[in-house]
Amino acid sequence: MDDKWGEKTILIVGGTGGVGHATAIKYLKEGTNVMLADINASRLKEDVEKLSVYKGTVHQVSCDIREVADCENTIKETIARFGRLDVLINTAGVWVEGESEKSTEDEWNRVIDINLKGTYFMCSRAIPHLKKTQGCIINLSSDAGLVGNKEAAIYCASKGGVTLISKSLALELAPFQVRVIPLCPSDIKTPMLDDQAKTYGKNDPEGYYKDLLKLYPQAEKARFIEAGEIAETIFFLSSNKALAFTGAPVSIDFGLTSGY
């Protein structure tokens, strides 16, 4: 079944991140229209310039997904520019870790607002347009959206919410042939992971990476997922080859969560 990517529009929220950038490249190579949304306006401009070499058309919209008005404007800008929306991909997210007894209200609000509230309202405001195209939503959840991670209660709460929002929306939108998929990866080799290691690695980022990889069943051969691998998975899940996928979390984690 031909997907006709050249006629479709993809909105990537968190578009300048490692996964967002790799995903944009994948679709643009197919000639797809891509709208990148991100809070970092200057990086958005740089990214669009770099991505303009590919076959598809790419544009940008500055968006703070903590604000519902910004979520609404992002959808409006996408429709105004391309006339339709076929796939919404929510990749924006932030990490926090530490002992729960030392957590702050600011940490809670920031992580929940970006990871959970922003994801929900992007989905919410995209629904009318996805019904028209019988499109799909792919929400980047996490292995931490399926199982608990030590000293990451706030992050787990946000990603667990993303997983369950996706499952609920999948049931709600199935009669309209709109699919919603929570994608649950383990650690991804991106600038976000580097920042995580620098922030929480106690001046030993390499040691932080090693401690993460000790959790994987591959032992000394364990590695992090590449952003391009996530992009390939997203592309497949959004295609007509994956029409049976909706609601159920899709794990891409080297078996990390298999033993729980």
Q: What would the mean pLDDT of 185-208 be, rounded to a whole number? A: 94
Supply the pTM of this predicted model: 0.96
- Residue 260 confidence (pLDDT) above 60: no
CATH of the domain at 118: 3.40.50.720
What's phi and psi for 257, nearest 5 deg? -95, 5
Q: How many domains does the chain have?
A: 1
Beta-strand ranges (E) seen in 101-249 are 136-140, 179-185, 188-189, 225-226
Residue 124 maps to a domain: yes
Assess whether pLDDT exceeds 90 at residue 2.
no
Q: Does residue 220 sit within a domain? A: no
Distance in angstroms between the alpha carbons of the first and the last residue of the chain: 37
**pLDDT band at residue 1 using 50, 70 and 90 as cut-offs:** low
Q: Is residue 35 part of a domain?
A: yes
| φ, ψ dihedrals at 16, nearest 5° | -95, -5
Query: Would 163 be classed as within a structural domain?
Result: yes
* Full domain range(s) for residue 180: 5-188+228-251
Averaged pLDDT score across all residues of the chain? 96
> Residues 39-83: pLDDT tens digits?
999 999 999 999 999 999 999 999 999 999 999 999 999 999 999
pLDDT digits (tens, 9 = 90+) for 108-141: 999 999 999 999 999 999 999 999 999 999 999 9
DSSP state of 69: H
- Per DSSP, 10 falls in state E
Strands of 5-151, DSSP E: 9-13, 33-38, 58-62, 87-90, 136-140
Residue type for position 28: L
